[in-house]
Structure 1
Amino acid sequence: MLKTERLVLRGPSLDDVDDLFAVYGDPRVMRYWSEPPHADRSVTETMVKRHIAAFDHAPLYFVIEHKGRAIGRGGVHDGDEVGFILGADYWQQGLMTEALFAMIDHFFEDLRFPQLTADADPRNAASVATLQKVGFVQTGEAKNTFCVNGEWSDSAYFTLKAPREAA
């Protein structure tokens, strides 16, 4: 578990399903995600169960809790790739930046990742800005990388190198 001034970053629980369905079922939130919005609660429940099992083996992808509610998720989900999602009611409050700083410290200091990477749809200006705010640098781009509901999106790729320890 990680804690910040306003957040708790923790493992998933079945108690999170309703809160996370509000996130993953929202077309605004899922606009630039790599899959369509969850059609019903059972899709979110299946995802949470899968993430509970994965978290028990490798605690790398966290539920973001604010004032007792699961408001999003974030962490490393594939090798060194960082991903994150946040409920629309919590946008523009600096919460994801706060969560990412805590996760980045954990991945570099505690888990000794040499670098982190990220992939964002370049049309998602808020996610791109958040990545840059926490230190990620764009390293490339590609066209037509995801097709969701018949709509292609592009990818912008980012990297954040671990800070070098003082000699």
Structure 2
Amino acid sequence: MLKTERLILREPRAEDLDAMFAAYSDPQAMRYWSTPPHETPDVTQTLLDGRIAHWAKAQVNFQIELDGHYIGNAGNYARNEVGFMLQRQFWRQSILTEAMEAIVPYLWEVTDHDHLFADADPLNAASCGLLTSLGFHETHRAERTFCINGLWSDSVYFRLNRPT
């Protein structure tokens, strides 16, 4: 568990399901995600079960808690890739910046990654801006990397090298 001024960054819990479903079923929150919005809580339950299992192996992908409630997640979820998701009502409050500013140094402490990477839709200015503000730099772009509900999205890839 990590703590910031406003947030608790913690393990996934079974009781997060309803709040996670609220986030992952929101078409606006999922606009730039790599899967379609969740149609049922069963889809979210599968995601949550996977996060719980992953946490048992490596405590690197966090649930974001504010005032005792799940509001999103952030961290290292596959190999050395980082990502984040936030319920829409908490956008534009610097919550993900605060979370990632705690998570990135933690990842350098507990992993042997020589770099972290992320990908985003180039139209997602908020995520691209967050990554840039954290020190990630763009490495390349690719067209038509995700097809969600018949709509293709492009990707921009970012990298952050381990500090020397």
Q: Normalising by the residue count of structure 2, what TM-score does the alignment of the two structures yield?
A: 0.97
**Aligned pair 1:117/2:117, yes or no?**
yes
Superposed CA RMSD: 0.9
**Aligned partner of residue 64 in structure 1, secondary structure:** strand
Write the letter of the residue equivalent to 1:81: E
What is the percentage of aligned positions where both structures have the same residue? 48
Deviations 1:33-61 (A, max 9, x none): 00000001121112111210111011121
**Aligned partner of residue 131 in structure 1, secondary structure:** helix
| Consecutive aligned runs of 4 or more in structure 1 exceeding 4 Å deviation | none
> 1:109, CA displacement in angstroms?
2.5
Q: Normalising by the residue count of structure 1, what TM-score does the alignment of the two structures yield?
A: 0.95
Unaligned runs of 5+ in 2: none
Find the counterpart in structure 2 of residue 41 from structure 1.
41
Find the counterpart in structure 2 of residue 52 from structure 1.
52
Residues 89-100 of structure 1: pairs in structure 2 closer than 5 A: 89-100=89-100
Answer with 104-113 or 33-42: which moved more: 104-113
Residues 1-167 of structure 1: pairs in structure 2 closer than 5 A: 1-164=1-164
> 1:78, CA displacement in angstroms?
1.7
Write the letter of the residue equivalent to 2:34: S
Unaligned runs of 5+ in 1: none
Deviations 1:77-100 (A, max 9, x none): 221110111110000000000101
Cα distance in 1 for partners of 2:5, 2:79 equals: 28
Aligned residue pairs, count: 164
